[in-house]
Amino acid sequence: MSIVAAKPLEAGVPAERILAQLAERFAAVRDGRDRWGLTVTVARERLRDCLQWLRDEPSLHCDTLLDVAGVDYLAFPGHRGPRFAVVYLLKSTRFRHRLAVKVEVDEDDCALPSVHDLWKIADWAERETWDQYGIVFRGHPNLKRLLNHHEFSGHPLRKDYPCQKRQKLSVNDPMVDQLEARLRQRGYEVVERGEVSAGDPLTFREKSP
pLDDT(204) > 70: no
pLDDT at 197: 62
Q: What pTM was computed for the model?
A: 0.82
What pLDDT digit, counting tens, does each position of 194-203 carry? 666 655 655 5
Percent of the chain with pLDDT over 90: 61
What CATH number is attached to the domain comprising 74? 3.30.460.80
- H or E segment and range at residue 19: helix 15-26
CB-CB contact of 105 with 112 (8 Å):
yes
Instruction: With respect to residue 178, please indicate whether it lies within any of the assigned structural domains.
Output: no
| pLDDT band at residue 83 using 50, 70 and 90 as cut-offs | very high
Which three-class secondary structure state does DSSP give residue 98? Answer: strand
Q: Is residue 66 in some structural domain?
A: yes
How far is Cα 97 from Cα 88, in angstroms, rounded to an integer?
Answer: 14
Per-residue pLDDT reduced to its tens digit, 127-157: 999 999 999 999 999 998 888 888 788 899 9
Is 176 a member of any domain?
Answer: no
Does residue 23 belong to any structural domain of this protein? Answer: yes
How high is the pLDDT of residue 201?
A: 59
Q: Which whole-number Å values give the CA distances from 153 to 111, 128, 145, 166, in the listed order?
A: 18, 15, 10, 10
Angle at 202 between CA 201 and CA 205, to 5 degrees: 125
